[in-house]
């Protein structure tokens, strides 16, 4: 018996949760001024954009790297979802 592919809504939810989870594993929620995770999944194509504003970060490039890592975590979570 084969399992059906996850719904588009489930893919978007899993990706967004993974991205947010990674961000908040690196920063306290109170340190994050703004976080915007945009996920689309249409016709089998996943797009993940993460915007992160963390005032007072030690290194200006650090939030950008965390945003990139969050987008990667979202993609990996979706890959895992399809492998399950």
45 lies in some domain: yes
Rounded-to-integer distance, Cα 37 and Cα 17, Å: 9
Of the candidates 49, 38, 41, the residue with the CA atom closest to the CA atom of residue 6? 41
pTM: 0.90
pLDDT number for residue 84: 79
Number of compact structural domains in the chain? 1
Residue 3 lies in a domain: no
CATH code, domain with 51: 3.30.300.100
Q: Is residue 62 part of a domain?
A: yes
Tell me if residue 29 falls in helix, strand or coil.
helix
Residue 50 inside a domain? The answer is yes
Of residues 14 and 61, more confidence is placed in 14
Q: Are 27 and 54 in contact (CB under 8 A)?
A: yes
């Amino acid at each position: 018996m084969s399992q059906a592919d996850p719904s588009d809504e489930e893919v978007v939810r899993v990706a967004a949760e993974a991205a947010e989870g990674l961000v908040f594993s690196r920063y306290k929620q109170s340190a994050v001024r703004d976080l915007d995770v945009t996920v689309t999944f249409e016709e089998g194509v996943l797009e993940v954009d993460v915007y992160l504003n963390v005032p007072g970060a030690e290194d200006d490039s650090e939030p950008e790297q965390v945003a990139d890592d969050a987008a990667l975590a979202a993609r990996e979570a979706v890959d895992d979802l399809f492998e399950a």
